[in-house]
Amino acid sequence: MDNGTIIRTQDLTKVYPMGRTSIRALNRVSLSFEKGEFVALVGPSGSGKTTLLNIIGSLDAPTEGSAEVMGLKVETLSHRGAAALRSLHIGFIFQTFNLLPVYTAYENVEFPLLLMKMSAADRKKAVLDALEWVGLADRAKSRPGQLSGGQSQRVAIARAVVKRPGIVLADEPTANLDAENSHMILDTMESLNKNLGTTFIFATHDEKVIRHVRRKITLVDGAVAADEKTAGVAKEKKAPATRSGDASGRAT
Amino acid sequence: MTLFKLAIRNMLGAGTKTWLNALVLSFSFVAIIWAQSLFKGMDEEASRSLTDIEYGGGQYWVEGYDPLDPFTIQDAHRPVEGVLRDLVDAGRAAPILVVQGTIFPQGRMFSVLLKGIDPGQRILTLPTLCLEPSGGEIPALIGTRAARMFGLAEGDTVTVRWRDVGGTFDAVDVVVAGGFSSTAQSADSGQVWLPLEELRRMTGAAGQATLVVMEKGFSPSTAGSGSLSGWAYKDLDFLLRDIREFIQMKTVGTSIFYVLLMSLAMLAVFNTQVLSIWRRRREIGTMIAMGLTRGRVIALFTLEGSMLSFLAMLVGAVYGIPLLAYFAAHGWVLPSDQADSFGLALGNTLYPIYSAGIIVGTALLVFLITTVVSFLPTRRIAKLRPTEAIKGKLS
C-alpha cells in the first residue's frame, strides 16, 4: 500500500445468494482511500454503499477480490483478527445511532476503550475529551432515552472517534436527523476529520452530506459509476462544533 | 475483567427485569437452604433423641437377637458377665432384659414388650427412678404414646402376662408409677418398662439381659473381646442406619420440590435470556462492530445471566437471613400430633441446622444451573450476522 493509502479495494465483488438466484451487491469495485479523506459513497438504494462499508469495516467478507484496510487483507482475517482491526482502527456511526440503551453517554463512549488496554485515568480523559469535541460534556450522565436524536448521534460520533481510529465509517448518519442537527453533526465530523486526520467515509443519500465532502464516489448496481473530487462547503463554515475545546482535545 | 464490568452494567441497567429475576431465583435459593437445613435438623434431632433415650453410645446384643423378629426374643437372653458386668457395675453400661408379653388394660388385650431396666441407671434419659420398688407393688413406666393407646394413667393398675424362660405363662398386676414423653417412638409405643431385677425374677432369668446399653462415647476397643463371646456389638452407625436411610429417602423425595423451584426460576432466567437476545440484537451487532468477538459477546450474555445468581444471593440474604434466623430460634412448629406421622423421632417443633456446606453447596448449585441456562440461548448469537444485527434484523 502506498504511503497515505489506508484502504484499497481491488476487483471487490460481493454476491448474496437469494434462494435459487443471487444478488451481486458489489461488482469488481477498485478504489483507494487516503488518510484524512472525507468521502461520500452515493447512489440509489441497493447500489452497494452499505455492503462496501461493511466489507471495509471487516463486518463482512468479499466473495471475490480483495479489500486491504490498514495493511490487513479483510478476506483473510479470522473473526478475532477482524474484531481486533475494528477495535483498533475503525469507528462506526449508524443511521439509528445504536447507542447501548442501558449505558450513560459517558459509558457508551467509554465502551470501545474498555476493549483496549488502557488505564482508567487515560480512559476517563479520552472519554471526556471526546464528549467535549461533540459538545456534550454536560450530558455525560444522560442515558440515550434522555437525549435528542442530534445529541444521540453526537454521542455516537464521540464513541466512534474516542479511540482515535484511522477510519470512521458512517452509514446514513443524518438520515434520522432534521436539517439543523444534520449540519451540526456534519460540522462536528468535519472538524474531527481536520483536527484528528481521521478518514471519514459516508454512505448517504443526503445532499447536505454530499455538499460537505471533498470526494464523492457514485455507485450504481454495485459498480463505481463516478469518482470525483468536490469542493465541499467546509471552507465556508466555521470549524468545530465544540464548546470549550478544539477537536484535538486541547483547551482553547 | 472488562466483561465482568460490562455484565454488571448491563445487568443493573436492565432495572426491574433484573430485580424480578433475582427475586424469583432468591426464593429457590432460600427455600432450598431452609428445606435442606430442616432435614439436617431432623436427622440431628432423631439421632440425638434416639441415642439419649434408647441407644446410648452403642449396644451389645445377645447373638441372634433381632428386635424386628419376635421369634428371636424368646431365647435372646444370657448372663451379663466379665467385662460387661464390670462396666455395668461401674455405671458405664445399663443391661436391659426384653421379654414378650401381653397387657390387659380395662379388659382389652395388647401385645407388648416388657423391658427390664435398672432403676438407678444413668446411661439413658428414661426417668427410671420411679421404678424403685416400694410397698410390694411392681412399678411400671410407660411413655405417653403407650399410655394413650392403653388408656392408662399414673397410679392405674394393670395386668401383664408373660412366658418365663421355661415357657410357662404367668401374670401379675403392675402399677403405673410414672410416664415419660419422648420423640423416640421405639422406646414408647407398645412397651412397658419394669425394674430389671423384678423382670428377671418374673422370667427366671436371674443376672441375664437381652442387650447392654453402653455409655456415650464408648468404644468397643476399651472392652476387649475375649470375655464378650455370645454378645454382638452394635455401634451407632448400625443402630441409626434405618433412621438415616429414612431421612435420606425423605430428602430425596423432597428433591422434587427443589427441582420444581429451580425449574421455575430457571425458566424465568431462560426466558429473559431468549428475550434479551432477541431484543438486544442491534446492541449485539453494535458491540461486534466496536470490536467485541462473538465469543466475548456470548461470554458477556452468559456472565450477565449467571451473575443473576449472585444478585439472587444478595436479595435472598436480605430477607432470608432474618427468616432463617427466626426458624433457627423458634423452630417450625408441627401441627399437634403430626410429629409421629413422619415415622421417626421428632419433636413437635423442628429446628433447622444451617451449615456452611449447605449454604455453599446450594449457592454453587444455583450458580452452575443459572450459568448453564444462561449459556444455552446465547448460542444463537453465534448465528447472528453482525451486518443484519446492527440494523436490528434477525439472520
Q: Do A60 and B387 touch (CB under 8 A)?
A: yes
E strands, A99-180, in order: 167-171
Question: B290 in contact with A at a CB cutoff of 8 Å?
Answer: yes
CB contacts, 8 Å: A86 with chain B: 288-291
Q: Do A54 and B293 touch (CB under 8 A)?
A: no
A242 belongs to a structural domain:
no
Query: Which pairing describes strands A199-203 and A38-42: parallel, antiparallel, or unpaired?
Result: parallel
Give the residue from B186, B80, B181, B200 showing the smallest Cα distance to B125.
B181
According to DSSP, the residues that pair with A8 across neighbouring strands are: A32, A68
- Please report how the helices A105-114 and B2-13 are oriented relative to each other, as an axis angle in degrees rounded to 10: 160
Q: Do A94 and B392 touch (CB under 8 A)?
A: no
Q: What is the pLDDT along chain B (395 residues), one digit of tens a residue?
A: 678 888 888 888 878 888 888 898 898 889 888 888 888 888 888 888 888 989 999 999 999 999 888 888 888 899 998 888 999 999 999 999 999 999 999 889 999 999 999 999 999 999 999 998 877 889 999 998 889 889 999 999 999 999 887 788 899 999 999 998 887 777 888 899 999 999 999 999 899 999 999 999 888 877 665 558 889 999 999 998 888 887 778 777 777 877 887 788 788 778 878 888 888 888 889 999 999 888 888 999 899 888 888 999 999 999 999 999 999 899 887 765 655 555 555 666 788 899 898 899 888 988 998 898 888 888 888 778 888 888 877 65
Whether the CB-CB separation of B291 and B2 falls below 8 Å is answered with no
Q: Do B291 and A79 touch (CB under 8 A)?
A: no
Query: Which pairing describes strands A167-171 and A199-203: parallel, antiparallel, or unpaired?
Result: parallel
pLDDT per position as a tens digit, A24-79: 999 999 999 999 999 999 999 999 999 999 999 999 999 999 999 999 999 999 98
Question: Residue A167's pLDDT is what?
Answer: 95
**What's at A154, amino acid-wise?**
R
Whether the CB-CB separation of B311 and B18 falls below 8 Å is answered with yes
E strands, chain B, in order: 59-62, 78-79, 93-104, 110-117, 138-143, 157-163, 169-180, 191-195, 208-209, 211-214, 231-234, 332-333, 349-350
DSSP state, B334?
P
Residue identified by cell 448518519 is: A173
A191 belongs to a structural domain:
yes
CATH of the domain at A186: 3.40.50.300
* Domain of A171, in residue numbers: 5-236
ipTM of the complex as predicted: 0.85
pLDDT per position as a tens digit, A91-134: 999 988 999 988 999 999 999 998 887 899 999 999 999 999 88
pTM, 2 dp: 0.69
* Angle, CA of B248, B251 and B253, to the nearest 5°: 115
CB contacts, 8 Å: A115 with chain B: 2, 290-292
Question: A118 in contact with B at a CB cutoff of 8 Å?
Answer: no
A79 belongs to a structural domain:
yes
Q: Do B2 and A115 touch (CB under 8 A)?
A: yes
CB contacts, 8 Å: B15 with chain A: 102
A88 belongs to a structural domain:
yes
pLDDT per position as a tens digit, B186-214: 788 889 999 999 999 999 989 999 999 99
Question: B382 in contact with A at a CB cutoff of 8 Å?
Answer: no
CB contacts, 8 Å: B292 with chain A: 83, 87, 115
Supply φ then ψ for residue A76, to 5 degrees. -100, -5
Question: A142 in contact with B at a CB cutoff of 8 Å?
Answer: no
CB contacts, 8 Å: A159 with chain B: 290
Please state, in angstroms and as integers, the Cα–Cα distance from residue B197 to each residue in B30, B79, B86, B139, B160, following that order. Answer: 54, 13, 17, 12, 16
Whether the CB-CB separation of A236 and A212 falls below 8 Å is answered with no
A241 belongs to a structural domain:
no
How far is A105 from chain B, CA to nearest CA, in Å?
13
Question: Residue A241's pLDDT is what?
Answer: 43
Closest in B9, B285, B292 to A103, CB measured? B9
Whether the CB-CB separation of B139 and B174 falls below 8 Å is answered with yes
Q: Which residues of chain A from 39 to 98 reach within 8 Å of chain B, CB to CB?
A: 50, 54, 57, 59-60, 79-80, 83-84, 86-88, 92, 94, 96, 98
Question: Residue B390's pLDDT is what?
Answer: 84
* Angle, CA of A207, A168 and A162, to the nearest 5°: 125
> Total domain count for chain A?
1
